[in-house]
Amino acid sequence: MSTILVTGGCGYIGSHTITDLVENGYDVVCADNNMRSTTQLLDAVEKITGKKIPFVFTDLCKIEEVRALFAAHRFDGIIHFAALKSVDESVKDPALYFYNNLASQVNVLKCTEEFAVPFFVFSSSCSVYGNVSDLPVTEDTILAKAESPYGLTKQMGEQIIRNTSPASKTKFILLRYFNPAGAHPSGHIGEVPFGRPSNLVPAITQFAAGKIPALTVFGTDYDTRDGSCIRDFIHVSDIAHAHTMAFKFLTTVTDGHYCDVFNLGTGNGITVLETIQAFEKVSGLQLDYKTAGRREGDVVAVYASNEKAAKTLGWKPQYTIEDIMRTAWAWEQRMATQ
């Protein structure tokens, strides 16, 4: 049975991916510094899977701690999530993002080489595309200028792996996911925003639950069908399962060197206002949201073609935008009772 290191596994996507890995027969070790995450999600993973997840508190920006982690376990693969992810925060504090996201990645890659770990899946983002004119986005779309320091760290992270791959025996997959949202259908795990949420779906559910005083739509004058930004919202459980399928695929690759990238999206763009309407439909609530000017760092529209992931990995999203809003709202209500 393979043992996979999941860095940042106490986070939103990480905890869902650990759940999916365990349900597909893998052993997992979680490493996290809990800067923006909580081990409570690992307790919830145990409730879902019946399996306790080994956890190592580790600062991946410190090479000696990363090396100790690798020395204490034998890993058959790495899924690297650990990174800060707020576009707005990265604009305000870019140095934090460059240091945290890139230093941690370099240290993990260094130890991946030192300890001869054969497979590596990297958590990338649609933010690497910047503002693009041709939609849907494919993996061959030329990357535009990153619109935020966060997006730039993902562009740089991908390039670091591409430069590492030719001299490495490790095989790599880079997963560019679009806008993960929703919560596990069990209701046990979901997104736990630290501070005011910067992502749309938790902002919607927190506003509906009375946790935040206002919901603001930033920009209503874009060249889109209703003036608001277009995004590709994909259920977090679909994203999680793609990591399991990516790891399985890597174990079948016979090429001496392998590094490839896959988009994870629904293939359909939905506007911010349409997303709010989807929540109102499944919840039966009407939201008194506000509108404001454009937010620095936001791209106008981005959504994915997922044909490559479907053909190569055999992956297709299973959940709709209504499923996303329904599970997100159920998770929000569950948090209110805890």
Whole-angstrom distance, CA of residue 335 vs CA of residue 337: 5
Whole-angstrom distance, CA of residue 324 vs CA of residue 337: 20
The full DSSP string for 191-230 is ---SSS--SHHHHHHHHHTTSSS--EEE-S-SSSSSSS-E
Distance of CA 226 to the CA centre of its chain: 27
Q: Is 150 a catalytic residue?
A: yes
Q: Of residues 26, 129, 150, 177, which has the active-site annotation?
A: 150
The structure tokens 């409730």 sit at 47
Strands (E), 93-207: 119-125, 171-177, 179-181
Are 182 and 323 within 8 A, CB to CB? yes
Sign for the pseudo-dihedral over CA of 152, 67, 163, 12: negative
Whole-angstrom distance, CA of residue 191 vs CA of residue 15: 10
The structure tokens 């879902």 sit at 48
Residues 6+ apart with CB under 8 A from 320: none
Residues 6+ apart with CB under 8 A from 93: none
Are 239 and 16 within 8 A, CB to CB? yes
Encoding tokens for residue 68? Answer: 């100790």
DSSP class of 256: S
Catalytic residue list: 150
